Chains A and B, each alone.
Chain A
Amino acid sequence: MSYNLPNPSLIGILLIISTHSGPQLIYKQPPGLTKEPDEDEGEYDQEDIAETESDEYGNYFEYDEDSNMYGTNLYKQWDANHLNYYMGTKKDLISFLDEIETKRKQASMKAVAKKRSQLSKIASNPSTISTTGNSGNDSIFGIEPAYLCEMLAPPKKMCNSRFEIMIDDKIFLGLPVHKYDNGSWRLKGSSKRINRNKEENTHQHEVDNSKSKLNLNMFHLVFIMNPPVIEYNYRIDEMFHYVISRLSLVLRYEQSKNDFISNQVKMILNLKEQFKEKEELESQLLNKSSLCKMIHDCYLSISQSKIANLSVNNKLRSFQIPIKTEFHSLPESSVPFIPGSHLSSTVGLLGTTGLINVGETTRYGEAMNDENEGISEAADDIVYFALLLLDDAESIIRDIKTESSGTLAKFIRMINPTESLLKLSTRSNSLDTLQVKSFAFHLIYWRRARVIQPLSTRSVYFVSPMAPITTNLYTDIREFKKSFPTLPSLPQFLKLLSPQSKKPSQFATVIPSKDHRDIYFEALSWLIRFGYVTQLQTFIWLKISRKIKIKVEEDLENESSSRKRSNITKKLLMGGTDNSSKDPAAESSTDNRIMDQNDDKEENATKQLSNINAEDQEIENIKERLKSTSLGPLVSLEDDDDTILLDPGRATTLERRWINKIIFDECKLSSELTNAFYKLLKYMDGKSPLELLLLKENISRTEIRKLLIAIEDHIISVRHW
């Protein structure tokens, strides 16, 4: 589906209040809400709702012919962030390219013209809006405001919870906040009981005052939306969860503490009395009332999928619908995504933390279910990673309006994509790990930074399969040149990272000399930032070859046929060595029990063996084998060939014997390497990259290399992002 593309579908915001004299529309944004904002906006949903009765095919063709095939094209079609770019049937490639070309030319012409007339345009802009508002009557999509108000000021029983009504294809979504019976705005929990008297006092006071004021019973910030049918639930849930509920609660807080809404409403009503002329009223409202300004800003930013930095009663609050620019898997070819999205399996680690909104990869939402284990750990692991700022440090500091000498600003300036957060926190005295983590979370959530593995010359980088080559390269070539005038051009640079006829290699091989190191790192982080490049990581599994299996089998047979106590104790000891390195004691004891049971069976088997002939013996053996293997459900490749262990960290008894065989008999690892091996064992599940091991565990690269060479025959490795 197209959930990857932002589509706030917000077409307006209304503020409705209810007093003892009934409901009232206080403010609307944008001022002209008389008719459809954009005819083609919801084109494909309308045809679905209204005309399913009529021939579906006919509809599609009509639509395509009208707007795509021959007719004039919509500007939105050229915006790769917009759904229309991917939908419908486009013409053949050449004419498509031709049109993009002419659009580009027009755009560049416009840009030139714009620069000249920028000032005058700004001045003229608000007036154009209000004239459209003036042109019609006051109705909102053809409905008298008074009627609409009645609908949008629900009875008390429907208040203080999500409110949603759909009239034809417009959705009115909000969280109406109603005063409680005792006059307070917030539901008093048990914790607030202490303040009750106090509240009542102030309330009494309030009532006295409000005789001169208005008696506000309810306020309701209504968001009008027109999402495409297929995304209906998703879009309104998103809007409610991220913006409406949060903003309404903030407003309720301000109302209960400072009578913010009441005061503002009074001011707005006064202004409405004073200024009858519409245009003037609009500008006065925006200038004088902070509530109107806030609603205006909110509408502008949210409808453009931007972050809304709103000042609510002089306090800065931010709201956003998170966008999906992080992917852990490659989307199917039919799934659109925002060009320049980042692809890395580390995203999978953080996906469940709620920090980032991971992109959908399948068209029909039948996601390949990756069972995400160890979620709680993931958020802690972030300290081993580095942050990559998505903008220039200073402009981020400016944008988030933090004090430029504050700790957060200092932290932002410190961020370096080559250094892990752990390093950062050890380097600076003022920041502890917890603080670093919370800052990092903040920056990630607010689209300022991206989590990556610290850049290193030893890491391998390659051109991402999601690289926006057809969509963005044209403009990015210029940007790249601007940022790095001394480096090769963007395509040349990308070419360095896409080797011909050999496997991708370490970043070090790309850097011409030591002096170039820093600038090459900068360029690399630029490329990662814009989604061109991602890191190639190594994942390994432990492979048990047939040879090992046979040997272990032989051992087992020997042990069981000799049937000596000493043997069993020896086995127990062996289990012991195993445990000391890794496993909790409890598990080992159960393991031993299983082992004993196994032995019993085998003993039985051997008893019987003496009585029956050779053929039966073979069959019996096979049965035995089948039994023993069925103990390990994680072994999936029960071929007569190699077995690949999927999760050696939780190996069964048999698997552990295989592993031991490899360590002690096959590779004859030294004690240091054995230790390293056990550290590595956890990472041999094909899910955790070796690169993470290097970051997290205290093992040197050379040691790992030595170990990998030693056990080379028994591992299978895969490299992907």
Chain B
Amino acid sequence: MENSDGFIPIAAIFYAVFHPTQGTKIVHQVPEGSISTIHERANTLFNFDTVKNYVIPKPHLCNKLISFKINKFKVIGYPVNIENDQYSRNSFNFNFCFVFPYDIGDVTPYEPAIRRMGKMFQVLEEQNFMLSKLDKDNSFFKKSNVSNATANTNIHMNTPGYSKTKRINLSSIESLINQIYQDLNNYSECCIPLDSANSVDIKLFPILPPPINIKAFQVPIATVKLNSLVDVNWDPTMIKILPYINGLNSVKKISELADANYVLTKQCIQHLMHYKCIEIIDIFQFGNIYAPTNHIGSFLKSNAKMAEECQAYVITSDVNYDTSSFSNTPNNSPFNTLNNNSPYGGSLLKRMNPVYEHSASKGAITVKVPSKATLFYLYRSLNQGQTVKEWYIQHRKLLVNVDIRRFINFGVLRGIIYRVHTYPILNSITRLIENNDEEQYAKLVDIIRKKHRPRKKEVLSRPKSSEGNLLKTRVNEQVLKTSQGKTKRKVSFNKPQKVKPLNDIILESDNEGDSDSDFSDGGSSNTSYHSEDELDSDEIEEERDMINLIKMLKGYQCFDSICTELQKSRAEVEADIEKIGSYSVLNG
């Protein structure tokens, strides 16, 4: 029943007035005869007499958007009441009503348009009796005033330049509503000139749910080519952040890389999401945990489409694909034909794995595409107790030619796996909540403050000693690289330093002092920026970080959130938490 743009079609439009002698009546309707005005007739939508009082209500209720239900229809109109002693009843009432089928769906996109149209005709009528004078008998005016009213309109003749403008006059409301009816139902918009200055312009827009507050650690990934959408009217922040939306950077990091205010960045990204230009994933790290959802079965279903798309998306070779957009899958035509296996016949069928010959690359490089069953097996083998790293080590043989980040992202976006978040739980906080001891918390904060000052040096050296853990992940990364071949895409870690250089350049070209204050403004800063003589501020930041850390621990934030906020790696955060007290880790 919906038209091509998803809007509910209009069943009928009618124009009703309060006639001085005949009362409320329909003057014109389209399609003709859809609303019965005299007697109950078959094939009409409803009887006008029943709803008369809703079409032209008491003056108090006029000049408001009013809709009502009658039979199986919903009528929306904006009844207008204009008082003027030139009218024979001292007032003139009219209403353009739109009729929609009631049960089908949402007609809210029409409402602002109908309201605006009512308001516009109200003004036009007030200015030059545009509607009332159309009555041939001039029955809306007091007998003596008829000439007056028409004279009023003639004033226009004398305005300078009037003769030059093209004279368009609203000649018939019937043709007007007919055109609105046709155009809105066929094109979801209309543009009908009334006179030289006014026109009925309506365009229907779908109403989307308002943006949801997204979190600092969430990662936007483009579903369309964002760059192709940019035009001159775009918000400057939006343009600034665009290059950093690549499916790797978190919202917070995007704001830092683009040197844009965090809240504004967040708002931009929320709007991109509002218009379905991006989807939200999580920061990919090898310490993450993923597990199957109940939709994992759909990987097998629907003619294996998802599986095919997955094969196309996760495969790696030494050709560099653009990673920034999810929709940008490597050209999958070569192995669509493979799967349909028409040209090659049996010899290919007999092979264990289809072979993906990349024609675009320099040499004849063959890449084996993992079979769908293998990919399914890989997805199902993810579980709540295993990090990607552990899982990778276990399944390394099957993961040849699979881009793990893409593999995971594909699963998350298609809803067949989900991210298991990890929450650090500080035992002392649990205890103080159990005992309902707010003072204890204040003390805890205090202790950190005091502890911090004298042991500053130690604290600074601490992160280095905890490097051991960090080192491991680095080693792992190396393993990854060698196993995948030298020219593999870089595996991403959420360490600010890695991508920092870009930002550094920008900062250095600016004057340095300013950028510093900018950063501390946002409540977060990176120690690596500061030179030695700024040790004091280092210290203060360190302390603030610790206090923020406690706050976040008390707010039960997950590791991703904490790491993003403090701009530290998980290992560093873990070391920091250890300094405060014993903690446990919760996956959920």
Whether A502 lies near B385 (C-beta < 8 A) is yes
At the interface with chain B, which of A424-432, A460-468, A605-613, A663-671?
A: A460-468
Whether A619 lies near B345 (C-beta < 8 A) is yes
In angstroms, Cα B267 to Cα A334, docked, is 14
Which of A86, A348, A541 meets B213, CB within 8 Å? A86
**What is the interface residue range for chain B against chain A?**
35 or more
Q: Kindly state whether residue B397 has any CB partner on chain A within 8 Å.
A: no
Whether B433 lies near A478 (C-beta < 8 A) is yes
Whether B415 lies near A500 (C-beta < 8 A) is no
Whether A495 lies near B210 (C-beta < 8 A) is no
Which residues of chain A are within 8 angstroms of B522 by Cβ–Cβ distance? 92
In angstroms, Cα B376 to Cα A639, docked, is 12
Which residues of chain B are within 8 angstroms of A473 by Cβ–Cβ distance? 556
Whether A151 lies near B57 (C-beta < 8 A) is yes
Closest to A348 in B: B294
Measured CB to CB, the closest approach of chain A to B24, in angstroms, equals 13
In angstroms, Cα B273 to Cα A328, docked, is 25
Given contacts A329-B294, A498-B588, contact A491 B384 (CB under 8 A): no
Closest to B377 in A: A716
A529-558, CB < 8 A from B: 532, 536, 539, 541, 543
Whether A470 lies near B64 (C-beta < 8 A) is no
In angstroms, Cα B303 to Cα A637, docked, is 8
Which of B61, B270, B434, B523 meets A167, CB within 8 Å? B61
Which residues of chain B are within 8 angstroms of A44 by Cβ–Cβ distance? 210
Which of B50, B112, B371 meets A53, CB within 8 Å? B112
Whether B345 lies near A622 (C-beta < 8 A) is yes
Q: Kindly state whether residue B9 has any CB partner on chain A within 8 Å.
A: no
Query: Please, what's the 1-or-0 string for A486-526, where 1 marks a CB less than 8 Å from any CB in chain B?
Result: 00011110110011111110000000000000000000000
Which residues of chain B are within 8 angstroms of A101 by Cβ–Cβ distance? 551, 554
Whether B65 lies near A166 (C-beta < 8 A) is yes
Whether A646 lies near B433 (C-beta < 8 A) is no
Closest to B281 in A: A333
Query: Please, what's the 1-or-0 string for A55-84, where 1 marks a CB less than 8 Å from any CB in chain B?
Result: 001001100100001000000000000000
In angstroms, Cα B433 to Cα A93, docked, is 21
Measured CB to CB, the closest approach of chain A to B374, in angstroms, equals 7
Q: Kindly state whether residue B501 has any CB partner on chain A within 8 Å.
A: no
In angstroms, Cα B427 to Cα A642, docked, is 49
Which residues of chain B are within 8 angstroms of A108 by Cβ–Cβ distance? 438
In angstroms, Cα B317 to Cα A623, docked, is 33
Measured CB to CB, the closest approach of chain B to A592, in angstroms, equals 28
Q: Kindly state whether residue B295 has any CB partner on chain A within 8 Å.
A: yes
Which of A144, A494, A501 meets B586, CB within 8 Å? A494
Q: Kindly state whether residue B266 has any CB partner on chain A within 8 Å.
A: yes
At the interface with chain B, which of A118-126, A226-234, A406-414?
A: A226-234
Query: Please, what's the 1-or-0 string for B166-198, where 1 marks a CB less than 8 Å from any CB in chain A?
Result: 000000000000000000000000000000000
B277-292, CB < 8 A from A: 280, 291-292
Q: Say what secondary structure dominates the interface of chain A.
A: mixed
Which residues of chain B are within 8 angstroms of A638 by Cβ–Cβ distance? 304
Whether A87 lies near B300 (C-beta < 8 A) is no
Which residues of chain A are within 8 angstroms of B65 by Cβ–Cβ distance? 49, 166-168
Q: Kindly state whether residue B138 has any CB partner on chain A within 8 Å.
A: no
Closest to A173 in B: B69
In angstroms, Cα B433 to Cα A489, docked, is 10
Which of A230, A330, A465, A640 meets B210, CB within 8 Å? A230
Q: B216, B276, B294 — which one has the most chain A CB atoms within 10 A of its CB? A: B294
Closest to A504 in B: B384
Closest to A481 in B: B434
Q: Kindly state whether residue A368 has any CB partner on chain B within 8 Å.
A: yes
Whether B307 lies near A151 (C-beta < 8 A) is no
Q: Kindly state whether residue A400 has any CB partner on chain B within 8 Å.
A: no
In angstroms, Cα B425 to Cα A88, docked, is 29
In angstroms, Cα B110 to Cα A232, docked, is 13
In angstroms, Cα B554 to Cα A540, docked, is 41
Whether B346 lies near A52 (C-beta < 8 A) is no
Whether B58 lies near A470 (C-beta < 8 A) is no
Q: Kindly state whether residue B148 has any CB partner on chain A within 8 Å.
A: no
In angstroms, Cα B385 to Cα A462, docked, is 10
Query: Please, what's the 1-or-0 string for A232-255, where 1 marks a CB less than 8 Å from any CB in chain B?
Result: 110000000000000000000000
Q: B212, B276, B371 — which one has the most chain A CB atoms within 10 A of its CB? A: B212
Q: Say what secondary structure dominates the interface of chain B.
A: mixed
Closest to A464 in B: B588
Q: Kindly state whether residue A401 has any CB partner on chain B within 8 Å.
A: no
Q: Kindly state whether residue B67 has any CB partner on chain A within 8 Å.
A: yes
**What is the interface residue range for chain A against chain B?**
35 or more
Given contacts A481-B434, A621-B346, contact A87 B212 (CB under 8 A): yes
Which residues of chain B are within 8 angstroms of A144 by Cβ–Cβ distance? 60
Q: Kindly state whether residue B33 has any CB partner on chain A within 8 Å.
A: no
Closest to B57 in A: A151
Whether B58 lies near A465 (C-beta < 8 A) is no
Given contacts A463-B586, A478-B433, contact A720 B346 (CB under 8 A): no
In angstroms, Cα B69 to Cα A165, docked, is 7
Whether A105 lies near B438 (C-beta < 8 A) is yes
Q: Kindly state whether residue A719 has any CB partner on chain B within 8 Å.
A: yes
Which residues of chain A are within 8 angstroms of B301 by Cβ–Cβ distance? 636, 646
In angstroms, Cα B383 to Cα A336, docked, is 25
Q: Kindly state whether residue B108 has any CB partner on chain A within 8 Å.
A: yes
Closest to A620 in B: B346
Closest to A43 in B: B210
Q: Kindly state whether residue A39 has any CB partner on chain B within 8 Å.
A: no
Q: Kindly state whether residue A90 has any CB partner on chain B within 8 Å.
A: yes
B221-268, CB < 8 A from A: 235, 262-263, 266-267
Q: Kindly state whether residue B66 has any CB partner on chain A within 8 Å.
A: yes
Whether A469 lies near B423 (C-beta < 8 A) is yes
Q: A48, A50, A144, A163 — which one has the most chain B CB atoms within 10 A of its CB? A: A48
Q: Kindly state whether residue B142 has any CB partner on chain A within 8 Å.
A: no
Which residues of chain B are within 8 angstroms of A60 by Cβ–Cβ distance? 210-211, 267, 271
Given contacts A229-B207, A619-B346, contact A686 B300 (CB under 8 A): yes
Whether B293 lies near A330 (C-beta < 8 A) is yes
19 extra interface residue pairs, beta carbon distance < 8 Å, beyond A50-B112, A162-B69: A52-B205, A93-B557, A98-B551, A147-B58, A150-B58, A157-B50, A164-B74, A165-B68, A166-B66, A332-B415, A464-B588, A470-B555, A477-B430, A501-B387, A636-B300, A638-B304, A640-B352, A641-B372, A721-B294
The 4 closest A-B pairs by CB, nearest first: A463-B588, A641-B371, A498-B587, A491-B425
Binding site for B on A (CB under 8 A): 1-2, 44, 48-50, 52-53, 57, 60-61, 64, 69, 86-95, 97-98, 100-101, 105, 108, 143-144, 147, 150-151, 155, 157-158, 162-168, 229-230, 232-233, 328-330, 332-336, 345, 348, 363-364, 368, 462-465, 467, 469-470, 473-474, 477-478, 481, 489-492, 494-495, 498-504, 532, 536, 539, 541, 543, 618-619, 621-622, 636-644, 646, 686-687, 716-721
Enumerate 25 A-B pairs (CB-CB under 8 Å) in ascending A order: A50-B112, A92-B522, A92-B523, A93-B565, A94-B548, A97-B554, A165-B69, A166-B65, A328-B294, A329-B294, A463-B588, A470-B555, A470-B557, A474-B433, A489-B430, A491-B584, A491-B586, A492-B430, A498-B587, A500-B587, A636-B300, A640-B352, A641-B371, A641-B374, A716-B377
